[in-house]
Structure 1
């Protein structure tokens, strides 16, 4: 096993030999073997152990074991204790998901603060098969059948080509000690049920199960490369950027593709959507209909779908002092200057009677019930009615910003000024506000 891992380091994982590495160690068989192998190969490693406080004294004993192992191998070790159950309740997620989130958040902090280049985990071939079967039973696309990647950003899994049997044989041959996690025995978790009840039967039916599974994943990954190449060809025809947070997907171009739903899934799968039938239905839905994930929203807007990142800035207010000349905002910079006359007219520029505004001015998002007096019209108008008349999409409305004096709207920024603050023949001081 040591020779095989050495060969992998020389051929596929050579970048590890000169890197500062952090091993995620539980104290169990797999991570203990990984640690010993890395030490024998002379890699620059330190250990990181998470105490999730889920098994009482057993969790504390795991921590003590890792501390002793680090001392025996003369390795630096980091220990972090988590209130996992409380975190799971607060975030309304499962214990397993909570542990995963906490673990990788802490690893990310360690790598950033202490400049570790890669995190090593001890996932192996049996873990890979279990993950494949879990995804298969839950329903998944091609990505879910590809298993665990050997390299995923800065997370590397050097043992992925070895079986659990390989690892156990190595540990016994070298008289290694490790900790057994009692929760791994329980079959109330799907992974354990597959490990103890399902996979042994599959191996009995076909002793070459893991080898054949590795071939299947190789073929699936090759298919994935073909899919990725085709999607790369399609993207420039279908997707156009609108701003840093928003993209437009051309519906007619999508429908002209051979399998529109399949393409739409591949284009949007990385944005957190789960209700795929609702996503597909947007192709023929009325304008204004939308589907939302935890991070993005997809809106039907006449001939396109607008994909936007959800921004948490509804209550964000920017204050402008009378002395300010340049004000940076989420949508650009406002240049504010006293001028003697009106020299240019453009939607990105307004001229206002300075004596009619009261500083500090504010910039904010629009709110339900907002009313203004559109320049060039008589009387007032609800902002919601203005948006409707101007055919604003839902996204346009959410991204509308207002320049205000006290509670009065001075400018729907970049669109329409308010009549109450316009320059007249009686104006003594002209204030120019320009959006860049």
Structure 2
């Protein structure tokens, strides 16, 4: 005899957007309750997108019960409990504000919005919704990497002593080919920024989260290395190159972002975000140097954390490679036997597990919109510093900020383009 069990205490999910992030998020919603003991069971209710033909296929592939071409349908549906926003940055504000006003829980991909001003409004709306029981989370998924969560734990326990210096890099090469086609991520109006906000936001968040310190001021430079790209429709062969004899469109965001930061305690940090680093696929690196030791991490070796103990006796000093797959490490106990590594997709599953737990327990998940707003202020300060050539720009709420989350204005982009 076969018995079918309907999930109790279901958490019905409406997702908006079904590209790269939509695939990662839907996988996580399907998986989290199968490995973590959650107070609620996620159900993929409705998927929203613009193009019905591809949307229908995505809904079936991802496991959604229904789909719609109007995101408003998802927000207005009384059966849906949580809104998952996986769209380009220029749409985050409108969707999140509507979802919070409707009393929905909200998961919004990073960066929170395309301006500090919009992020402030979203944060205020999230605080008001929180008072009514609606929870909100910004999707900085790398926090859920076991090695990085363990690094934060070690810093909090004093393993590196007093923090003296922080360095972070996010190196990719997927735009290093000058004939790689135009995408929405290269359009300031849609993306809000280039390498700075797309991948730089991650290392800003991680550096602040791991260290427990906010960035207070920055000095930065932005560069657009390839000023034009083949139109997205001008593709040839399987190599993904655009037709260089056809139309080329202006790139209006940065390809490379470099900046120095001073944290609230006076600690200096250096940051680099680039999509021009040939041979680096997803080298997201963080290193913390302290009075008693150091921690170093590279996402291309995501199951490892390097730990240096400066208090060890002479002859025994050196970085120790720790494989963070033990049950003592954050999140690892829910998965495979010791030594069996995790992958990129697990960070999203951990994110959903934490969010669902917070919703079920009535607690506030992290990173909150307030934490995401702080990242947004850093991005704006880097942009402002790069635009006017100032040595240092404050991240304080009343400091001057740009109109986007990280890219230069058009005039500045042209000035720094080669």
Task: Please indicate the TM-score interval, normalised by the length of the shorter structure.
Answer: under 0.3
Between structures 1 and 2, the one with greater helix share: 1
Larger Rg belongs to: 1
Q: TM-score, normalised by structure 1?
A: 0.26
